[in-house]
Amino acid sequence: MKTIHTLAELRAELAQAPAAPAFVPTMGNLHDGHLALIRQARELVGDSGSPVVASIFVNRLQFGPNEDFDTYPRTLERDAQLLAEAGCDILFAPSEAELYPQPQGYKVVPPAELSDILEGAFRPGFFTGVCTVVHKLFNIVQPRIAVFGKKDYQQLMVLRNMVAQMALPIAIHGGETLRAPDGLALSSRNGYLSEAERAEAVQLINTLRTVKAQVGAARSGQQLDQAAIARIETKAAAALNERGWQTDYVMVRRQRDLMLPTDAELAQGEPLVCLAASRLGKTRLIDNLEL
Ligand code: PAF
């Protein structure tokens, strides 16, 4: 695997490749979830000659003023080794000065109905930061395929919409969430948890599983409507908060666009997803479960 730090070198390297790459953008501090995305990209390209490119860049634009930009773990050497073992061909790891040589005044602003809800409601500007850097990385890498984890469910949807509306010739693939044996979704931020918090953290997926069971029960009793959903969401958030969590949201939405399903859609079996974000001590965790 080649590690490349500049746009010029990356462009020169990719110009030699027989086909456009498959791309996995990351912020580093890699875990098995990221490596599964690399393996998925490897499988998608098959023997087409497309190289698999990963990027590592902690993108200041997507962090709020009180978020963890400064403390976000930077572990480039270890990450490079893991990427090489997982079958990555090129690691692109630009410095901030390389990717943002001037303050990034031109931004990609996603539509409010998708970016001001859920994560966007609690992290203003987050999806503008994500779309701006991903669009820029797409322009640099010019991939034909890009893979993003389903753990960041809303991010995946926002990026799919960006690619569709901007007519970018890139096939976006979602990678399944990898979980620890107790069910906790793998995340770079799990490293912030104390031992006691790590033991408690499993309650986030347990809560989503409870929501899934309750939605399933209401559905089989033909009693699933917006009011029932609201009751289930409120109970789920309260259960976490009683255990000492500070919950931003537990919400059941339509899988296709993350909007609230109507009563008619609920009665007709609309595919749903439950999304949650909650803080345990200083660590904010997110997860989701398709229902
Ligand atoms: O999911 C992430 O790690 C980041 O949001 C991404 C897509 C690499 C953009 O910085």
For a pocket test of ligand 1, which of 23, 26, 156, 158 has the largest count of ligand atoms closer than 8 A to its C-beta?
A: 26
**Any atom of ligand 1 within 6 Å of the Cβ of 61:** no
Does residue 181 sit within a domain?
no
User: Rounded CA gap, 189 and 153, in Å?
Assistant: 16
Gap from CA of 196 to ligand 1 centroid (Å): 28
**Any atom of ligand 1 within 6 Å of the Cβ of 26:** yes
Say what the pLDDT of residue 191 is: 94
Q: Residue 57: which pLDDT band, with cuts at 50, 70 and 90? A: very high
Q: Residue 239: which pLDDT band, with cuts at 50, 70 and 90? A: very high
Does residue 10 sit within a domain?
yes
Over range 240-266, report the average pLDDT. 97
**147 shares a domain with 194:** no
**244 shares a domain with 202:** yes
The residue nearest atom 9 of ligand 1, judged by CA position, is 130
Say what the pLDDT of residue 147 is: 98
User: Rounded CA gap, 209 and 220, in Å?
Assistant: 16
Over range 125-151, report the average pLDDT. 98
Say what the pLDDT of residue 235 is: 98
Please report, for the domain that includes residue 148, its CATH number.
3.40.50.620
- Name the domain boundary from 120, 147, 175: 175
- For residue 37, give both structure tokens: 């995305």
Domain that holds residue 259: 188-290
The residue behind tokens 């630009």 is 94
Backbone angles phi, psi at 277, to 5 degrees: -140, 130
Q: Can you say whether the dihedral through the CA atoms of 72, 289, 243, 238 is positive or negative? A: positive
**193 shares a domain with 131:** no
Say what the pLDDT of residue 173 is: 98
Gap from CA of 124 to ligand 1 centroid (Å): 16
**277 shares a domain with 217:** yes
**149 shares a domain with 35:** yes
Say what the pLDDT of residue 137 is: 98
**pLDDT digits 0-9 by tens, 8-55:** 999 999 999 999 999 999 999 999 999 999 999 999 999 999 999 999
Please report, for the domain that includes residue 229, its CATH number.
3.30.1300.10
Say what the pLDDT of residue 114 is: 93
- For residue 261, give both structure tokens: 């399903």
User: Rounded CA gap, 197 and 151, in Å?
Assistant: 20
Nearest Cα to Cα of residue 284 among 67, 34, 115? 67
Over range 244-260, report the average pLDDT. 97
Does residue 58 sit within a domain?
yes
User: Rounded CA gap, 291 and 289, in Å?
Assistant: 6
Say what the pLDDT of residue 176 is: 97
Domains: count for the chain:
2
Average pLDDT along the chain: 97
Say what the pLDDT of residue 65 is: 94
**Any atom of ligand 1 within 6 Å of the Cβ of 131:** no
**pLDDT digits 0-9 by tens, 182-212:** 999 999 999 999 999 999 999 999 999 999 9
Say what the pLDDT of residue 251 is: 98
Say what the pLDDT of residue 272 is: 98
**146 shares a domain with 59:** yes
Nearest Cα to Cα of residue 107 among 61, 60, 141, 59? 61
Nearest Cα to Cα of residue 272 among 283, 261, 286? 261
Say what the pLDDT of residue 172 is: 98
**pLDDT digits 0-9 by tens, 3-14:** 999 999 999 999
**225 shares a domain with 155:** no
**pLDDT digits 0-9 by tens, 79-121:** 999 999 999 999 999 999 999 999 999 999 999 999 999 999 9
DSSP type of residue 61:
G
Contact 264, 225 (CB under 8 A): no
pTM given for the model: 0.96
For a pocket test of ligand 1, which of 23, 59, 72 has the largest count of ligand atoms closer than 8 A to its C-beta?
A: 59
